[in-house]
Amino acid sequence: MRTVRILLTLLVSAFSTLTVQAQSQPANPAAAPFTVPPQMSAAQQENFSPQLLTELEAIKAAALADDYAYRQVAHLTENIGPRPSGSAQAEAAVQYVASELQRLGLEVGLEEVKVPHWVRGVETAELTEYPGQAAGTTQKIVLTALSSSTATPADGIKADVVVVNNFDELKSLGRDKVAGRIVLFNEIFDKQKAAGGMAFVAYGEAVRYRAGGPKAAADLGAMAALVRSVGSADFRLPHTGYSAPAGIPAGAVTAEDADLIAHLAEQGRVRMHLTLTPQKLPDVISHNVIADLKGIENPEQVVVLSGHLDSWDLGTGAIDDAAGVAIAMEAAEILGRLHLRPKRTIRIIAWMDEETGGSGSQTYTKEHSGEFPRHVAAIESDAGAAHPLGFDIRMSNAAADLIRPVLTVLQSFGANAAENRPYPPGADIAAMSESTVPALGIMQDGRTYFHYHHSAADTLDKIVPEELRENAAAMAVMGYALASMKNPLPR
């Protein structure tokens, strides 16, 4: 995929070279430079002065040579640790990010957010009856609870397992064959899509069962619901995540265990002993961290740079999403170090509670929607920390055309793609996007993201420092450009 893009880029460069020559200089084509920059339109020239383009190059160079973001991810993941909503670690992360951004000279505020507080308990399962069972044995099943899981009794429940591949199969079984049983949704993550660069499409297809499966099973009287883990690598690791409240115990089994159960269920009766003892505690007051680097000409116009601070509890939330918060922080650090002040306000936001309901972004929308007409753009990074290919964008064609000179700056390390999407390119900036604020999500290489996503393996070692620097460069260059180009992006 990368090779194809490079070839295309070369072809485009070659074409513009030829066009330029045809218009102005009938010189020897063999001596033609291969890297004539694409010509800027009048609107692009008006918005991007030579000085601004020089500043963008300086920001890029600083980001590509710096490890500030990596140190932030290390602190958030190793010193603070997992940061599930409502936890002491999530609040410690709020305090840390706020004090760090204050130290960098930003105006920092904490916005109160009421978040759910759910804590994991015991999570074990074994098959107690199945075809071919050796007398006196059981088979261990590896699983983890989902966000809305209720608890079984401390000594668990025992029930027959019924396996379905999709919602239609569940429906056709009907209440008779579902009530009192444990339903397993065995939707298989499409690894070929992920390997082919469509990881988020594969995720979207599979995650429907994690999100809605428990509720669909509960509606037919199921005693508990399990889903096959939504992930692209099989190391017998369960992947947790959000599921809509269903009022029954709900978990994700590993892909290997889903296969095992499905194979045995094809042969006959399968019975499971399942123990999940999570607790839903009272809601907690937590915070979005909101830090402004005030614009010197139009401080009322705001460009949001963001990631989410909360994480799942199984790993330490490195790729999801300490990385996003850290690269947004690095933008502020670099601008301070280079003594660059944007025309408009750059607002760093570390969102709370993206994972278990989005109360952070909901609160921000409630408090700030009156200012959305003056929110010039919003960027979120929440697709990992791997090499950035460019941006998923959602904006008018005129706006998309206007940011091309920024993409040209990012082209030297391949972060120059811009794909206009029909959906918001980030969960926390979705409401802004729906109210026509131009929205951008950094488009990371997603081929390995779902190997680790929401699992115990989402840890610091999964982040390649050089790739994180590229992400920091993409965030800082785009953020400063949007905040400093002559006119705000058109809607």
Q: Which residue number, 162 or 329, has a Cβ lying nearer to Zn ion? A: 329
Which residues are 144's β-sheet partners?
252
How far apart CA 466 and CA 43 sit, in angstroms, is 34
Stretch that binds Zn ion, among 192-200, 201-209, 221-229, 318-326 (CB under 5 A): 318-326
Q: Which residue number, 209 or 351, has a Cβ lying nearer to Zn ion? A: 351
Stretch that binds Zn ion, among 145-153, 199-207, 269-277, 314-322 (CB under 5 A): 314-322
353 binds Zn ion (CB under 5 A): no
Pick the closest to residue 287 from 352, 348, 349 (CA basis): 352
How far apart CA 85 and CA 117 sit, in angstroms, is 6
Residue 103 CA, chain-centre distance (Å), reads: 27
At a CB cut-off of 8 Å and minimum separation 6, what does 209 contact? 166, 167, 185, 187, 227, 228, 230
Rg from Cα positions in the chain: 25
Q: Which residue number, 55 or 380, has a Cβ lying nearer to Zn ion? A: 380
CB of 354 to Zn ion, least distance (A): 5
CB of 88 to Zn ion, least distance (A): 20
Pick the closest to residue 481 from 298, 343, 389 (CA basis): 343
310 binds Zn ion (CB under 5 A): no
Token code pair at residue 323: 């990385």
How far apart CA 471 and CA 259 sit, in angstroms, is 37
CB of 304 to Zn ion, least distance (A): 16
382 binds Zn ion (CB under 5 A): yes
321 binds Zn ion (CB under 5 A): yes
3-state secondary structure of 310: coil
CB of 50 to Zn ion, least distance (A): 38
How far apart CA 350 and CA 435 sit, in angstroms, is 21
Strands (E), 294-384: 298-308, 344-351, 375-380
Stretch that binds Zn ion, among 341-349, 374-382, 413-421, 477-485 (CB under 5 A): 374-382
Q: Which residue number, 333 or 382, has a Cβ lying nearer to Zn ion? A: 382
CB of 205 to Zn ion, least distance (A): 18
CB of 340 to Zn ion, least distance (A): 29
3-state secondary structure of 309: coil
Q: Which residue number, 351 or 480, has a Cβ lying nearer to Zn ion? A: 351
- Residue type at position 438: P
Q: Which residue number, 225 or 442, has a Cβ lying nearer to Zn ion? A: 442
Size of the site for Zn ion (CB under 5 A): 3
Catalytic residues: 354
392 binds Zn ion (CB under 5 A): no
Out of 320, 330, 333, 470, which residue is the one contacting Zn ion (CB under 5 A)?
320
Contacting residues toward Zn ion, per CB under 5 A: 320-321, 382
